[in-house]
Amino acid sequence: MELKEKVIEEIKKIYDPEIPVNIYELGLIYDVVINKDHVKIKMTLTTPNCPVAESLPKEVKDSVMQIDGIEKVDLDLVWDPPWNKSMMSEAAKLELNI
């Protein structure tokens, strides 16, 4: 399995605490870039006032760091473009009956 696929699989294990869908399918991960053993992730939250604004990015970073071959993870929490329901995967929309 390619390293980027491993990173995405790891991210898919993390769920939004208020919505029963993983954060990748929810559309909170905007970009994953791999450069050898260095991962750069751009992510957002459903709102800037999200109750897990402090803990969720750290959980993503810590989880990705557990993957063999990853030496560094830079995570940028971004607000542009703002998250909206259209960013969810079809699977997430089905899960939430949207």
Q: Is residue 75 part of a domain?
A: yes
What CATH number is associated with residue 60?
3.30.300.130
Tell whether the model's pLDDT for residue 48 goes beyond 90. Answer: no
Q: Is residue 71 part of a domain?
A: yes
pLDDT for 19-41, tens place per residue?
A: 889 999 999 999 999 999 999 99
* Domain, as residue range, for 54: 3-83
- pLDDT above 70: percentage of residues in the chain: 99
Q: Quick one: pLDDT at residue 54? A: 84
Please list the residues that pair with 73 across neighbouring strands: 39
Q: Is residue 48 part of a domain?
A: yes
Domain count for the chain, please give it: 1
Q: Is residue 96 part of a domain?
A: no
Structural tokens at position 18: 């208020």
| pTM > 0.85 | yes
β-bridge pairing 72-77 and 29-35: unpaired
